[in-house]
Every structure is written in C-alpha cells, then in structure tokens.
Amino acid sequence: MDKLSVLAARQPAAIGRRATLQGWIRTRRDSKGGFSFLELNDGSCLANIQVIADAKLANYESEVKHLSPGCSVTVRGDVKPSGGKEQATEVHAAEILVHGWADPESYPLQKKRHSLEKLREWAHLRPRTNTMGAVMRVRNRICRSIHDFFQEEGFLYVHTPIITASDCEGAGAMFRVTTLDPAAPARTPAGAVDFAQDFFGKPAYLTVSGQLEGEIYATALGKIYTFGPTFRAENSNTSRHLAEFWMVEPEAAFFDLEDDMALAERFLKRIVGDVLRDCPEDMQFFQERIDDTVLDALRSVAERDFQRLSYTEAIDILAASGEKFEFPVQWGADLQAEHERYLTEKKFNAPVILYDYPRAIKAFYMRLNDDRRTVRAMDVLVPRVGEIIGGSQREERLDILLERMHEQGLNPDDYWWYLDLRRYGTVPHAGFGLGLERMVQFVTGMANIRDVIPFPRTPGSAEF
Ligand code: ATP
Ligand code: MN
C-alpha cells in the first residue's frame, strides 16, 4: 500500500500516483451529478484534501452518503490535478473503507466553530480542530528547533530530576510528593507528620526548575541544557501561568551575563526563523484567525536587534513616560505586567532584555555586581506575552553566596552540594530558563496559555 499523508498528496508532485490516505472526514457535500466531495484531514497539515467519491463505489449509497464530520476512513484512489483554485490536487477514490462513525447528533465538533473556552472542556477532541492542530504543529517545530539550536551550539542534553528532595526554591510554590496516607500519616512523638518514614526519608517535591542540578553538570561538562516539565503550585489564574509547564534551561560554564544575553537572543531568533520558514500555512492561519499582528512581531524578532537596557534605565523610562500605571514605578520594586507591556509594546515595539536588577527582588544565586545594589540578572520581555526568559550569571564566589543566603534566610546546610561547586574548581557561569508555552503563545498569537499545551493544569482543573 502506497500510503500518502494529506500534506504529501497536496503537492503537485503527487499527481499521477495511486495512493492510500487515512484520516478523519471534515465535511461531505453531495453533488447532483451523482458523486460526493469529501474533505479529509489527517493532521499532517492544516489543509484538507478533497476526495471525489463516485456513485459507482460499492458502498456509495450504504456508507459514503452517510459520512459526517469526525468519521474515520481509508481512501484508496488516484491523485489528479484539481480544477479548484484552493488546491493543486484532489483524490479520485476507487475505494473508501469506513473505520468509525461519528454520530452527528452527539459529536461535539459537528458545529463549525466553538469558543476556545468551550473547546477546553473537550481536551480529548480539540486536537481535531484547525486551531489546535496548527498550535501543535508549531509547538512541535519549536521543540525541534530547541534541540537543533543547542546541539549545534555544542550543548549537551542533560536530564535533571523531576522529583527533588531539596526544598530550594521556596517550598510554598511546590507540589509535595509523598506516599504517606493523608488520612493517617506517620507521626513523630511530638505529633508532627514524620517525613523520615516517607518514601524518600525526607520531604520531596516536584521540581520548579532544573537549574541547580543543571549547574552541577555545567561545571563538569561545560555547556548543558535541560528541557522537561516543571511544576509550580502558585495559585495564579492568569493567561500566562500553568501549574505544569515545560522549561528549557541552558547552563554554561565560563559564560558571563553578556554571553548569556547573546545566547538568549540567538536562540529566540533561531526558533522564530525556523517557524517562519517551515510553518507558513499554520502561521498564515494564526495571522488571519487569531492575531493579525503576529507575523510582523515574528519578523521583527528575526530581523532586529533586541533592545537591551538596565533595570535602572527602565525605571527612568517608565517614570518619565507620563503613563498612568496601576502599580507605582519605583526603584527596588518588581516590574509588573503593565510596565513590561509599556516597554515592549509602546516604547520599543520589540523584544527587550532588562538586566542588573535590585538584589532584594532576585534569587540568592544571582551574581552580585560591584555596586552591591544590583545582581547580574536578565529577563527577556516580548510584546503581548511579557517575560518569556529569566536568567542570570550565577554567583561563583563562596563568601558572597553565603552572605546572600543568610540575607534571604536560607540554611547553607540544605545547599551543601551547591556550595561544593564553589569550593572545588569554581568558575563563572550563567544560564536562563525559557518557558516553552510562553514561547508558543508568542509565536502563534494565542491569547491564553491553556490553549498552547495539550492538557493544561491550572488551579482546580486537571480533568484529562
Ligand atoms: P513570572 O514572573 O512570569 O511568574 P517567573 O519570574 O516566576 O515568571 P522564572 O522562575 O524566571 O519565572 O522561570 C523562567 C521562565 O519560565 C519564565 O520566564 C517563563 O517563561 C516561564 N514560567 C514561569 N512560571 C511559569 C508558569 N507558571 N507557567 C508557564 N510558564 C512559566
Ligand atoms: Mn523570572
């Protein structure tokens, strides 16, 4: 059997081939001349292929004339030039085998258009829609670019753990992993839950970031990246936060913040360039149906230098902007989404890299500047989405790292292995984290992060 994807069958090169196509019916239209037009989709591309089903087919009256959206079929036929202007080719069916019916009375995707909110209730069916199909193909292309980019730059793919026993990054936002019985957990003599009797002999959590473990491998192997799921129990019901999301985290020895920012810029440009080149049909769909600014935004990322400015310069710009912000602009305070949007959308209309943030609002591991007021942190902000990357040069000096841990109320004993990296052969190093779903949002123009991941996990919601 000469199996052909819809994508391949739509190419003029396929003309003249006898082929087998398999997929799901999108529409059926019967012509008066005694044949039917079927639109077949198999997920290989946004477009359908038109199948001409002649009344002479053995099962024309009994089956073909009853096909409806969602039915699954195998079509054997000849690829021929199409008379229509929408497509170069069409398939003249010699045989149509029906695998599964989809009762038009109850099949939810029978109706042409549903809201994205409604489609979230059908996470098992929404991949059959044009929008989710396009999102998933672009998401896949981005993932491939992520690996291609780092592999070509000489980074080693390292798998950092998903379950972690270091309650490093603020346990409040972490999901606990336990096999203790919640109704009757083991207890200490004093009555507290006794995690010594838990599976790992101590409290364990789902990771919020692979960075600290990534540093272990970077300070041995040079340049590494991790790419995997991360989990945050923050109760923020926004269009940019998930409880489970995928993060790419490169970490490189002998990198300073300049190297880190340059890497981030090359990385984003590479992803955007690949998508523009390889997903033109899906991107045209997003431009026409989702957000008519998305192609311009991507081209400007691909072509223009990112705007770099220090946190202090950003505060000055915001203070002088004359804008009415809900949150006051004040040196020392974290930037809010409205401030980020002003910078990327109104002021520069381009990605912005902010660096050198006040030490008090950034993590203990970010390298202290000589001014002792700021740390070598950087955030990459993009229009619409805001923060897409957070990174820093790491503090490689043991004494200053200890000072920063004390300042933030952290117990150095909990980080003995992290501190060892500074005791033995310490090196300057830097890295960042890109949230995959934020990147897919930016590239596709999708407004809500729940619509760029197959199965979104958010507070109160994990049905599928
Ligand atoms: P934000 O301030 O937007 O909540 P953050 O500063 O907590 O993000 P980092 O810890 O710097 O985020 O994580 C690195 C990247 O991971 C972010 O730049 C973002 O792209 C992504 N990210 C962080 N939290 C989430 C989340 N809850 N859902 C999806 N992506 C996230
Ligand atoms: Mn951040």
Which is the closest atom of ligand 1 to the Cα of 388? 20
Which residues are within 8 A (CB) of 372 and not within 5 positions of it... i.e. 6 or more apart? Answer: 359
Q: Is 133 in the pocket of ligand 1 (CB under 6 A)?
A: no
247 Cβ below 6 A of ligand 1: yes
- 73 and 136 housed in the same domain: no
Q: Is the CB of 167 within 6 Å of ligand 1? A: no
With helix as H, strand as E and coil as C, how does 249-301 read?
EEEEECCCHHHHHHHHHHHHHHHHHHHHHHCHHHHHHHHHHCCCCHHHHHHHH
Beta-bridged to residue 338, according to DSSP, are: none
- Closest atom of ligand 1 to 242 CA is 28
Within a domain: residue 106? no
Which residue's CA is minimally distant from atom 9 of ligand 1? 390
> 90 and 136 share a domain?
no
For ligand 1, atom 26, the nearest C-alpha belongs to 241
CA 136–ligand 1 middle distance (angstroms): 21
| Residue 133 lies inside a defined structural domain of this protein | yes
Domain CATH number, residue 81: 2.40.50.140
Ligand at minimal distance from the CA of 249 is 1
Residues 152 and 10 in one domain: no
Q: Is 368 in the pocket of ligand 1 (CB under 6 A)?
A: no
Q: What is the pLDDT of residue 170?
A: 53
| Ligand 2 centroid, distance to 297 Cα (angstroms) | 22
Q: Residue 446 corresponds to which tokens in the numbers above?
A: 């999708």
Question: Is 228 contained in some domain?
Answer: no
Q: Whose CA is nearest to atom 23 of ligand 1?
A: 435
pLDDT of residue 321: 94
Is the domain of 83 the same as that of 132?
A: no
List residues, by chain if needed, whose CB lies under 5 Å from ion ligand 2: 390
Ligand 2 center to 356 CA (angstroms): 13
Determine, yes or no, domain membership for 188: no
Among all ligands shown, which has an atom nearest to the Cα of 435?
1
Report which protein residue has its CA nearest ligand 1's atom 1.
387
Q: What pLDDT score was predicted for residue 51?
A: 98
Q: Which helix (H) or strand (E) holds 25?
A: strand 18-31
Cα of 434 vs centre of ligand 2, distance in Å, is 9
Q: Are residues 140 and 277 in the same domain?
A: yes
* 308 vs 348: CA distance, rounded Å: 10
Residue 139 Cβ < 6 Å to ligand 1: no
Nearest CA to ligand 1 atom 22: 435
Evaluate: CB of 380 within 6 angstroms of ligand 1.
no
Residue 388 near ligand 1, beta carbon < 6 Å: yes
* Res 237: pLDDT: 87
Contact 371, 357 (CB under 8 A): no
Residues 283 and 324 in one domain: yes
Q: Which domain holds residue 356?
A: 128-159+237-451
The radius of gyration computed from the CA coordinates of the chain, to the nearest angstrom, equals 27
Residues 27-51: b if buried by 16+ CB within 10 A, e if exposed: ebeeeeeebbebbbbbbbbbbbbbb
Residue 463: inside a domain, yes or no? no
Ligand nearest to the CA of 434: 1
Distance set, CA 409 to CA 163, 171, 186, 402 (Å): 24, 13, 29, 10
Whether the CB of 241 sits within 6 Å of ligand 1: yes
Residues 31 and 149 in one domain: no
Confirm whether 192 is domain-assigned.
no
pTM for this predicted structure: 0.95
- C-alpha 87 to ligand 1 mean position (Å): 42
What residue's CA is closest to ligand 1, atom 27?
241
Task: Judge if 364 and 244 occupy the same domain.
Answer: yes
Q: Same domain, yes or no, for 11 and 140?
A: no
283 and 431 together in one domain: yes
User: What's the CATH code of the domain at 317?
Assistant: 3.30.930.10
Instruction: Please indicate, yes or no, whether residues 90 and 143 belong to a single structural domain of this protein.
Output: no
Phi-psi region of 460 (alpha: psi -120 to 50; beta: other; left: phi over 0): left
Looking at the structure, tell me whether residues 251 and 313 fall in a common domain: yes
189 domain residue, yes or no: no
366: in domain: yes
User: Whole-angstrom Cα distance, residue 245 to residue 247?
Assistant: 7
pLDDT digits (tens), the chain, 464 positions: 689 999 999 999 999 999 999 999 999 999 988 899 999 999 999 999 999 999 999 999 999 999 999 999 999 999 999 988 889 999 999 999 999 999 999 999 987 789 999 999 999 999 999 999 999 999 999 999 999 999 999 999 999 999 998 755 554 589 999 999 999 999 999 999 999 999 999 999 999 999 999 999 999 999 999 999 999 998 888 999 999 999 999 999 999 999 999 999 999 999 999 999 999 999 999 999 999 999 999 998 999 999 999 999 999 999 999 999 999 999 999 999 999 999 999 999 899 999 999 999 999 999 999 999 999 999 999 999 999 999 999 999 999 999 999 999 999 998 999 999 999 999 999 999 999 999 999 999 999 999 999 999 999 988 77
Give the nearest ligand 1 atom to 236 CA: 27
- Give the pLDDT of residue 172: 57
pLDDT of residue 85: 84
- How many separate domains does the chain show? 2
